[in-house]
Structure 1
Amino acid sequence: MRTPHVVVVMGVAGTGKTTIGPLLAARLGVPYAEGDDFHPPANIDKMSAGTPLEDADRWPWLDAIGGWAHGRAGLGGVVSCSALKRSYRDRLRAAAPDVVFVHLAGDRTLIEDRMTHRQGHFMPTALLDSQFATLQPLEADEAGVAVDVSGSPEEITERAAEALNALPDVRQ
């Protein structure tokens, strides 16, 4: 029996990490953790004010997510985390070497439309450009898959599960 991995559902704001993450966790039969819950209040205040986070703001947040992922090693789990830069993903891998990434990717217009219609989230649409400017897609040497975010949450989740299953070392 294969040891379950921790899957990090990543992407810019509005790609559906908070929607797809729990669905994927349920599909895989593992717990889900919402990455936004790991942010300290100062980060949420900053983003709510429309100010992009700097790397210094993100390190403690990434370390907290990495700690959760490390604690789930061998047990599996799914956590949402933008993980926009390679250095952020490297930091998560330093804490939990077996993490696998699902990069939710899509058309900027679609993502902006989704952000405009969601309610109760601290991330304003005004920060979407900074998210895309920061984004460094997964590289060939990173364990993970890119999944298109068009379609229903169920369709996206199914694509993610199939893509993960197709990875040579990640069959859940």
Structure 2
Amino acid sequence: MKLVFATHNPNKFREIKSILPKHIKLLSLDDIGCEEDIEETAATIEGNAKLKADYVKENYGYDCFADDTGLEVEALNGAPGVYSARYAGEPKSDEANLNKLLKEMENISNRKARFKTVISLRLGKNHYSFPGICEGEILTGKRGEKGFGYDPVFQPEKHKKSFAEMNLEEKSEISHRARAFKKLIDFLKDQE
């Protein structure tokens, strides 16, 4: 089976490729010659994932899945949420986003947060959706050098390390993205 993962992010691509069954040939947007940045204009994480999967299917003809992820912080009424990638504005910057989040969380005792990923899959004319959630908390400072995005300030429930302190295998066991992809993989196994 050949599927496009609608991403230009090499970290995400590598993370997902490591957990997909070997019989699925995974292609990136770069692999199919899609150089444009697909606009994420929906009001929800689910909507953005669907927009991207539909765009690839309709413009390139490939079966495709896309994900969108947001960090939802309870004390910030779910922010940054759908705006996680551009929380600090344009151009998007992980470092600027982290700094803005830490600044906004100063003197806030409720540190509860969750990462939410939704995967949208287009197979032919059919559309499927697979959510994944990882509960945790926002740390008071950055810890770790691995991962990307908000990983240095997010510590998953029942763990002592931030995502950025975990190796890929550890993170892939518990992450929101891994949980959503497990649902996708289980679904794809039934499609064989």
Report which structure shows greater RCO (CA 8 Å, sep ≥6): 1
- Asked if Structure 1 and Structure 2 have the same fold, meaning a TM-score greater than 0.5 normalized by the shorter chain, the answer is no
Comparing both structures, which one devotes a greater share of its residues to strand?
Answer: 2
TM-score, normalised to structure 2's length? 0.35
